[in-house]
Amino acid sequence: MITGEIKSKVDRIWDTLWSGGISNPLTIIEQLTYLLFIKRLDEIHTLRENKANRLRKPIEDPVFTPQQEKLRWSRFKDFAPEDMFGTVRDHVFPFMKSLGKFTSGEGDSTYSHHMKDATFMMPTPRVLSNIVDQLDAIDMSASDTKGDLYEYMLGKIASAGQNGQFRSPRHIIQLMVDMTAPTPKDKICDPACGTAGFLVASSEYLHAHHSDTIYKDAASRRRFNEATFHGYDFDSTMLRIGSMNMLLHGVENPDIRYKDSLSENEEDDTERYSLILANPPFAGSLDYESTAKDLQRIVKTKKTELLFMALFLRMLQTGGRAAVIVPDGVLFGSSKAHQQIRKILVEDQKLQAVISMPSGVFKPYAGVSTAILFFTKTNSGGTDQVWFYDMQADGFSLDDKRTPQPDKSDLPDILQRWKTLKTETLKAESPEKSRKRTDQSFLVPKTDIVANGYDLSLNRYKEVVHETVEHDSPETILTRLAQLENEIAKGRKELEGLLG
């Protein structure tokens, strides 16, 4: 966990760039990403250098040649500001953009690929020197510090991006990952990955629960680093940020690349993944011409949220599972396309849960009401009962400030009840099965959902008990009013007497 001291240091770095003239939060993140990338290159080279010295052999796959010594972080950090600025701008950045392999030693890395478009935007030598000194002063030797530091930086992005993009809250991501419980055998995908929050949380879950398996041998490590995590986005800035986020969390070469997931493309990603975790953009409508025709065959619409649902079904393997965030309109929309996608989930696949979230979860980015859908692709049905949960608190205030309120969170209860459902497989004695629809969570039979036109909104099924309120009779109220009027008149006469 990142400490308050490190947070203060990051805040000072942020303020330095802000006062230096870089006011766009994404630009600040991007410039810091480049510097962390450069620092990481030097660390990798140092590790290989130390190993070579121990074995008394030449360095295997060096990042820097002897002629490039001045490009290393550990060297230029001691330069005078003017010399550092010229070295980083004129030599380090061109080197970084042309870099090929540096992690696995096999082909171009994800990071070097996305760094090809990097643009140096440090305003002055003084600002660069100041930032390098401050970053160097942060102890990043602990395995989790780099990742936590970067996550804290990402958390400072306070404005939504283009195309309806906004960052998913980390605690909501963690809930979805914990509920889907990734395994080392999974191929995990986020088709709208942004800063790669879902992929990072999945990697941390695998580290925590399956470290023996993912590090069992060289083949297992390679599979974890190169074949487990897949993320797509059409924002090059987000790709750079997401790639660095993965690197700083210990994943060396994930499959994170440019791709407009909803458009026609030559790559066939049908049934490639066993787990999809996503919070796709809700940007309204798209042009038919730019949308993949096979998605239009599943659900004919221009609504991006519905097209993404069709995309998830196409990308999942049979038996694959998904946890995805959708706007409330997906749950109750009355158009033919809305009804069709819900019918597919209920009749053709196995819809397992609908978690309704309060509208403040995504503030300050947006106030839209959302829900999390959990389903498994079967292509043969399987929906028996659907679990609904009415999340009322997520551990933060629901206003724009999002102040932490750890004593007000339904997330632990959601996870515990979900595990109970999974382990007891809806036995007759299951506590969850006996809960009433006036409770915060309850089960709804498929027959009820079908009878309601496949409506998946929680309010359709939740029963609200209204308290009986007893009021005084009109006669009693009128008597009381008359007494009050007499008291007012008496008080007025006394006041008039005092005034003479």
Q: Is the dihedral of CA 12, 13, 16, 19 positive or negative?
A: negative
Residue type at 448?
D
The mean per-residue pLDDT over the stretch 287-292 comes to 68
* pLDDT value for 286: 62
**Per mean pLDDT, which range of 44-48, 87-91, 129-133, 185-189 is the poorest?**
44-48
Are 277 and 323 in contact by the 8 Å Cβ rule? The answer is: yes
Are 150 and 156 in contact by the 8 Å Cβ rule? The answer is: no
Are 327 and 296 in contact by the 8 Å Cβ rule? The answer is: no
pLDDT tens for residues 354-406? Answer: 999 998 888 766 778 899 999 999 999 999 999 999 999 999 888 888 888 98
Are 128 and 245 in contact by the 8 Å Cβ rule? The answer is: no
* pLDDT value for 159: 45
Residue 136: CB atoms within 10 Å: 15
The mean per-residue pLDDT over the stretch 408-418 comes to 94
State the DSSP H helix or E strand holding residue 451, giving kind and residue range, or none if neither: helix 446-451
354 exposed, middle or buried (CB, 10 Å; 0-12, 13-18, 19+)?
buried
pLDDT confidence of 91, banded at 50, 70, 90? Answer: very high
* pLDDT value for 104: 44
User: Which residue carries 């008597």 as its tokens?
Assistant: 479
- 388 alpha-carbon distance from chain centroid: 22
Closest CA to 270 of 298, 244, 250, 249: 298
Q: Is the dihedral of CA 261, 229, 199, 425 positive or negative?
A: positive
Please give the order of strands across the beta sheet that includes 273-278: 255-258, 229-233, 188-190, 273-278, 316-327, 370-376, 350-357, 385-390, 441-445
Where do the domains of the chain lie, and which CATH numbers do they carry? 4-150 (1.20.1260.30), 163-192+261-461 (3.40.50.150)
Q: Indicate if the pLDDT at residue 144 is higher than 50.
A: yes
DSSP reduced 3-state for 405:
strand
| pTM exceeds 0.95, yes or no | no
Are 180 and 372 in contact by the 8 Å Cβ rule? The answer is: no
CA distances to 54, 105, 449 from 58, rounded to whole Å, are 10, 15, 68
Strands 404-409 and 394-396 come out as antiparallel
Which tops the pLDDT comparison, 36 or 77?
Answer: 77
In the numeric block, which tokens belong to residue 158?
């306070």
pLDDT confidence of 108, banded at 50, 70, 90? Answer: low
* pLDDT value for 429: 60
Are 29 and 242 in contact by the 8 Å Cβ rule? The answer is: no
Closest CA to 311 of 292, 284, 330: 292
H runs (alpha helix) in 167-301: 170-180, 197-214, 218-226, 236-248, 293-298
User: Which residue carries 């033919």 as its tokens?
Assistant: 336
Strands 229-233 and 188-190 come out as parallel
pLDDT confidence of 285, banded at 50, 70, 90? Answer: low
pLDDT confidence of 237, banded at 50, 70, 90? Answer: confident
Q: Which residues pair with 276 in a beta bridge?
A: 189, 322
User: Which residue carries 């309601």 as its tokens?
Assistant: 452
Closest CA to 314 of 355, 350, 262: 262
**Per mean pLDDT, which range of 55-59, 112-116, 269-273, 401-405 is the poorest?**
112-116
- Give CA–CA dist 135/246, Å, rounded: 19
498 backbone dihedrals φ, ψ, rounded to 5°: -65, -35
Give the single-character DSSP code of 285: B
In the numeric block, which tokens belong to residue 4?
């308050």
Q: Indicate if the pLDDT at residue 428 is higher than 70.
A: no
20 backbone dihedrals φ, ψ, rounded to 5°: -80, -5
Give the single-character DSSP code of 175: H
